[in-house]
Amino acid sequence: MADNQGIKDMIDTKDTKTAPASGVDNKERLKIKRVGMRNQAPEERIHNFEEVPYGYSPEEASIEAKRCIQCKKPFCIEGCPVNINIPAFIKLVESGDFLGAARKIKETNSLPAICGRVCPQEDQCEKVCTVGKKKDSAPVAIGNLERFVADYEAAHGNINIEVTGSIDKKVAIVGGGPAGLTVAGDLRKMGYDVSIFEALHELGGVLMYGIPEFRLPKEIVLSNLKVLENMGVKVYKNIVVGKTFSIDELMEKKGFDAVFIGTGAGTPKFLNIPGEELSGVYSANEFLTRVNLMRSYQNEKYDTPVKRGKTLVVFGAGNTAMDSVRTGLRLGYEDARIFYRRSRKEMTARIEEVHHAEQEGIKFEFLINPVRFIGDESHTVTGVECQRMELGEPDESGRRRPIPIPGSEFITKIDAAIIAIGTNANPIVPSSTPGMNLNKWGYIIADENTGKTTKKGVFAGGDIVTGAATVILAMGAGRKAAVAIDEYLKTGTW
Amino acid sequence: MYKIILKKNMGEGVNLYEIHAPDIASKAKPGQFIILRVHGEGERIPITIANSDQKKGTITALVQTVGKTSHLLSELNEGENIKDVVGPLGVPTDIENFGTVVCVGGGFGIAVLYPIARALKEAGNRVISIIGARRTDLLLMKKEMEDVSSEVLIATDDGSSGIKGLVTDALRNLIEEKKEKIDRVIAVGPVIMMKAVSDMTREKNIKTVVSLNPIMIDGTGMCGACRVLVGGKTKFACVDGPDFDGHLVDFNNLMNRLRFYKKEEAQSYECHNKEHHG
C-alpha cells in the first residue's frame, strides 16, 4: 500500500513534519501542519447520503490560511483553470474577512461551493503549491479553504452577484451544466441578455445527475442556480436543442446574437461483451441519474425505481466509477467492488475519492477484465466472467497496456454491474447543426482559447469539445468562451 | 407546465390527452416521442406522439393506465397541467415512396400508426393497413385509417369485426392468399405483436420497421437505459431509434428489460392506491 502514503499527506495532517525555514515569518508558517477536514465516520456514512467531510470551522480555516506563504510568483493561480487569485483570498481568510474572501474568489469563479468540493485540486492549484514542494510538507489546502469561504458566505452573507451593466445582445446557452452555467453567469454579469436551454427538467447537468449527494449536496447546486436566476438569466427547461429548436433557428428566428454549446459528455460507452444487454447491467450514467437526478434512493417520496441487492461490481476506475460504487454501497449493496483492468497506479479517480471509498469498505480488484455477463431465464444478470491481466508495454496513453493471462478466467456472482468506462460524443446537437465541424470522434472542433467553432457566432466548450473531463475544466472553457463572446459581440469580428 | 386541452377515455383504461406544447407541436414528425413527468417527484416516461397540431400548438398522446405514473396522469383533468413535457425526441419514421406499404397496428398503437400511414400516403405510397383489437368497440381510429389507406383489414379476437384472429393472420393472408407484393411493413403496437409481425415477414424477406418503447430516463442519449440489441449491436432507442429493423431486433431481450422493474412499479402503485383510496 505504498501509494497510500501520498494519500495520507494530502488528507491527514498527522504525518506532516515541520519544513525547513525559508524566512522568519514563513518559518513559522511552514511549521503549521495542514488542517484536515473532519469527516463523517465511514461506518455511519455508508448508511446515508449525507456529505462526507464536514468542512472547516472558522478557526480551522484561519489556521490553514496561515500556511500560505504568499508567494511572489504564485504558481497556484496558473494551476487553476479559472485563475482564482488564490493568495489574495487566503490572505483575506487569514485576516478574518471571510466574506471578502468569497468576493475575491467570485471575481473569477461563480461556483466556489461546487469547485471547493469537486475540483481535483491535487492535480491543479495544490499540485504546484510552493508549500507542498518543501520537504515533508503538504500543500496549502486551497480546496478546503475555497469550500469554507463559499459555505460561510452562504450561511452569513448574500451570495447574489450584481449585474454591472445592460447590453442589448442576446446569447443562448445550450446546456445548463458547469460550462454553460459559467458562461451564463459571466455574460449576464457584464449585462448581456442570457437564456439557458436545458434538455432535462432541472438545470445543473452533471452536478445534478452525475455527482452524488454525499459529494455535492443538491441544495448547494440549487442555491447557486438561484443566484443565476436572481441575476436575470432566463432559463428554459425541457428544451432539447437539436430537436425542439436547432442552433440555426435560435440565431435566425429567435434573435440570438451568439450561441454557446455546452451539452456535456454524450452516450455512455459499453464493453461490447456478451450479456451486456441483460437487466441489472447499467451504464454509470443510468445508475447515477436514477439515484441523483431522479432521487430514487428516497423511494418513499420519488417514483423512479432503483434495484437493490447484495453484490455490485463496477468496471472502471475514474471518478464516475467511485461515485457509482459508493452510491451502490449506500443503497445497500453490502459487497460493492471495483474491477479494473489496469493496476492501482493507472486509476484516474481523485485520490480523495479512492481513499474515501476504501475507508468505506469498497474492495478494489486490479488487472481484471470482464469477458461476458451471465444471466438467468428472466434475462437478469447473475454473474460475470472475468480474466486476469498482466501489464505489458506502454500504450498510446503512456500507460502500460493490460494483456490477458490465458486460462485465468473466473466467475463472480453478482446482482448488478455498472459500466463506468467513459462516454462517446452525443450526436443530437452536432448532427443538427450544419457548418459546424466535428473531429473524428464526433466532438465539436472549437478553439482552445476562445471556444470558437467553425460556425460563425457559435461557441462551444466542456465535454462536448474535449470528451469527458472535469467540472472545473468545463468551467474554465466556459470562462474563456464568455470573454470571447463578449469580444465578438462588441467587435463583430469572427 | 403543459396544459391538458382535451382528455378522452378510449376504453380499456386508455386515455387520449391533447396537450398544449407549441414548441413540440411545431416540430413533431410521425414516429417521434415525448418524455413526460406528471409531477415534481415523478418518473420520466416516454410516449410516442400520436398526432400534432401546429395551429393549435398541441400534441396528442395515448396512455394506458398500468401503474402509478399513468394513474396520476389519468387523474388530471382538462385544464390541469403536466409538470414536464420534452420533445420531439428520436428520429422520425423514414418516409419515402417505397411503393406498397403495409401498416400494422395493434391496440392503441394504431393512434401512433395513423400519422405514419398518412405521411406514407402523402409520399405517394399505396398504403394497406391492418389494425387489430380485442373487440370492435375497442378498435381505435378505423375511420381515420380508412381515409389514408387504399384498403383496411381488421382483426379482432372475438371476430366482431374483420377476421377472427390476430393482425398477423391478416398479414399472412395478404401475403400468401392475395399474393400482394409488399415493399415495406411498418408495425406499431404491443412488443409481442411487433415480434410476431417481424418473424413472419423475415420468412418472406419483406423489410419491416418497428417502433420500440423501452424504459428511458433522459431520452437524449445520456443514460443508456433504453438500449436495445439490434443485429447483435447495442443501440439507444432514444437517439438511434425509436424505429428499428424488426428483423434485427432482439425482442425477447426488450420484453425482459421492460419487465425489470415490475415488482418496484407494482409496490409503488399499491402504496399510492392505499394512501389515496384508503
Q: Which of chain A's residues have a Cβ under 8 Å away from the Cβ of B220?
A: 199, 240, 243, 426, 428
ipTM of the complex: 0.94
User: Which band of pLDDT confidence, cut at 50, 70 and 90, is reported for residue A14?
Assistant: very low
- pTM value surpassing 0.90: yes
Question: Whole-number mean pLDDT of chain A?
Answer: 92
A18-44: average pLDDT: 79
Statement: B2-89 belongs to CATH 2.40.30.10: yes
At residue A395, the pLDDT reads 86
**Phi (first) and psi of residue A173, to 5 degrees:** -110, 120
Q: Which residues pair with B249 in a beta bridge?
A: B230
Instruction: Count residue pairs from A and B with Cβ separation < 8 A.
Output: 127
What is the percent of chain A with per-residue pLDDT over 70, rounded to a whole number? 95
For the segment B84-93, what is each residue's pLDDT rounded down to a tens digit? Answer: 999 999 999 9
Query: Within 13 A of A494's CA, how many CA atoms are on the CB side?
Result: 10
Is residue A13 over pLDDT 80? Answer: no
Topology adopted by domain B100-258: Rossmann fold (3.40.50)
User: In sequence order, which residues have a C-beta less than 8 Å from that of residue B198 and are 6 or more positions away?
Assistant: B187, B208, B210, B246, B247, B249, B251
Tens-digit pLDDT profile for residues A387-421: 999 999 988 888 888 999 999 999 999 999 999 99
For A391, the 3-state DSSP assignment is strand
pLDDT at B12: 82
Cα Rg of chain A, angstroms: 23
One-letter identity of residue B106: G
Q: Which ranges of A157-217 would DSSP assign to H, the alpha helix? A: 178-190, 206-209
What is the SS3 assignment for A81? coil
**What is the mean pLDDT of the segment spanning B253-268?**
91
Interface test with A, best of B222, B235, B272, B274 (most A CBs within 10 A): B222
CATH 3.40.50.80 region(s) of chain B?
100-258
The predicted structure's pLDDT at residue B277: 64
C-alpha distances in Å from residue A269, one per residue of A187, A249, B215: 34, 31, 18
What's the gap in Å between the CA of A167 and the closest CA on chain B? 28
Q: Which three cell numbers stand for residue A37?
A: 477536514
Mean pLDDT for the stretch of residues A338-343: 95
Residue A22 predicted with pLDDT over 50: no
Percent share of chain A, pLDDT over 90: 86
Q: What pLDDT was estimated at residue B173?
A: 93
pLDDT at B114 exceeding the cut of 70 = yes
Helices (H), A393-442: 428-431
Q: What is the pLDDT of residues B139-170, one digit of tens each?
A: 888 999 999 999 999 999 999 999 999 999 99
Exposure b/e, A93-131, CB count within 10 A at least 16 = b: bbeeebebbbebbbebbbbbbbbbbbbbbbebbbebbbb
Q: Give the model's pLDDT for residue A23.
A: 46
Residue B266 in contact with partner chain A when CB distance is under 8 A? no
Domains, chain A, ordered by start:
5-155 (1.10.1060.10), 170-266+425-491 (3.50.50.60), 268-423 (3.50.50.60)
The predicted pLDDT at position A444 comes to: 97
Answer yes or no: are the C-beta atoms of A90 and A76 closer than 8 Å. no
Quote the minimal CA–CA distance from B33 to chain A in Å.
Answer: 11
Which of A243, A289, A419, A464 has the highest number of chain B CBs within 10 A, making it the mutation to test binding with B? A243
Residues of CATH 2.40.30.10 domain(s) within chain B?
2-89
Say whether pLDDT at B262 is over 50.
yes
Write down the pLDDT at residue A174.
98
Asked if the Cβ–Cβ distance from A379 to B264 is below 8 Å, we say no
pLDDT tens-digit map of A446-489? 999 999 999 999 999 999 999 989 999 999 999 999 999 999 99
Chain A segment 285-324 residues within 8 A of B by beta carbon are 285-286, 289-290, 293-295, 299, 301-307
Q: Which of the pair, A51 or B276, is modelled with greater confidence? A: A51
Residue A370 near residue A315, CB atoms below 8 Å: yes
